[in-house]
Amino acid sequence: MPSRPIRVLIIDDSALVRKVLTESLATDPEIEVVGTAIDPYVARDKIRQLNPDVLTLDLEMPRMDGLSFLKLVMKHRPMPVIIISSLKADGSARALEALQAGAVDVVAKPGSAYSAAADGAALAAKIKAAFQARVRSPSGTTARAREGAASTLTTAPTLCPPNLETAGEGRQASGPGRHCSSKQIILMGASTGGTEALTMVLTNLSGTLPGICIVQHIPAYFSGAFAERLNHLCPFEVREASHGDKVQPGLALVAPGGRHLVLRRAGATYEVELNDGPQVHHQRPSVDVLFDSAARAGAGPHALALLLTGMGADGAAGMLKLKEAGATTVAQNEESCVVFGMPREAIRLGAAQTILPLEQMATFIQRYAIDVAIADAGV
């Protein structure tokens, strides 16, 4: 954290939301709300005047929508942006598009002054994570909030970020994992920056893989849209997990936002249990809950566990348990992380056997799947 408070600009057309967010963040001495803006045009001028470290950005505003403004920000002055979005289906889809365009994180828009105040601590934690984030513009420029780059923001046209909607075109699944044992499982955990990191890894995999379980720290309602987006892009089925789902080769299950995903042994395979248990590391779903349950279910010798970008320590202790139980464990390296928190803690604990840049993880997973298939065949 910096020697001074993190400077935040709140951009939202709702006076109530601006007021309540300002008041809830005022209780944290490490954060200072330096201003608010009713729309992107006002925000543009205040960014120049106030030089904030982090923006919170509504997506639905007058004169210019938040997504268009975000693209301008990421082109002309890359900086950490947290999206404040509605829970409606279209809001979830647009929030995911904003993450693709460079936003660091997304927070569900409060339905009332009470809920906004109650979620103030969670938003403060996301702001602190965003402040530490590596932010990349569509041109590849990397910036951090604390670097305090001079603002050159204008309302000039922007270039769209790379389109992932065609990433899966031309790839053919080689069958629903028919060569993979139901005992084998791939476990993935991520937080800040994780939606795009997971998208990069998963869209570069084939369809012949062990079953996959994913915990991404994401609000309720957004996880379904995230899973649907991955299902469209990947050459294998991806869906939001439901209670009682079987983990199967060629299927990836995403933990629902707001619910823990627990694995139970069910004969020759694993079964999903969802619960509303206490938050772990201030998170639900929690990566540690998934990893711990996999170790308890006896998946250790049959598991590949990967921990990607994110703030905090969620997943590190669970990864250590899996490693001690015989799992193959991988952490993302610092240079490719948006926030090098969770992987760093896993490395510090000695839980990660291998440290890889994000762009090498898909190849590692494919090689793991091949090695598993060879071992199962007794070759």
- Per residue in 136-180, pLDDT tens? 665 554 554 444 433 344 333 222 333 334 344 434 444 444 466
Whole-angstrom CA distances from 125 to 65, 129, 289 are 26, 6, 20
- Candidates 238, 108, 151, 256; CA nearest to 186 is 238
191 is catalytic: yes
Dihedral (Cα; 105, 135, 148, 281), 10-degree rounding: 40
**CB 330 within 8 Å of CB 316:** no
Q: What pLDDT score was predicted for residue 193?
A: 94
Low-confidence ranges of the chain (pLDDT < 50): 112-114, 116-118, 141, 144-178, 379
List the Cα angle 188/359/263 in 5-degree steps.
10
Query: Of the residues 28, 39, 58, 314, which is catalytic?
Result: 314
The CATH classification number of 6-147 equals 3.40.50.2300
Q: What pLDDT score was predicted for residue 160?
A: 31
Backbone angles phi, psi at 254, to 5 degrees: -105, 125
Query: Of the residues 137, 191, 286, 293, which is catalytic?
Result: 191
Q: What pLDDT score was predicted for residue 87?
A: 64
Q: What pLDDT score was predicted for residue 146?
A: 43
In angstroms, the CA 222 to CA 257 distance is 7
Sign (positive or negative) of CA dihedral 179, 185, 186, 192: positive
276 is catalytic: no
Q: What pLDDT score was predicted for residue 170?
A: 39
Q: Where are the domains of the chain?
A: 6-147, 176-377
137 is catalytic: no
Taking only the tens place, the pLDDT of each residue in 97-136 is 999 999 999 988 776 444 544 467 889 999 999 999 988 6
**Amino acid at position 206, single letter:** S
Query: Of the residues 179, 217, 260, 302, which is catalytic?
Result: 217
- Candidates 207, 206, 209, 214; CA nearest to 188 is 214
Encode burial over 193-211: b for 16+ CB neighbours within 10 A, e otherwise. bbbbbbbbbbbbbbbbbbb
216 bridge partner residues: 190
Under CATH, what is the fold of the domain 176-377? Rossmann fold (3.40.50)
Is 176-377 in the same CATH topology as 6-147? yes
Q: What pLDDT score was predicted for residue 169?
A: 43
State the residue for tokens 């707001």. 258
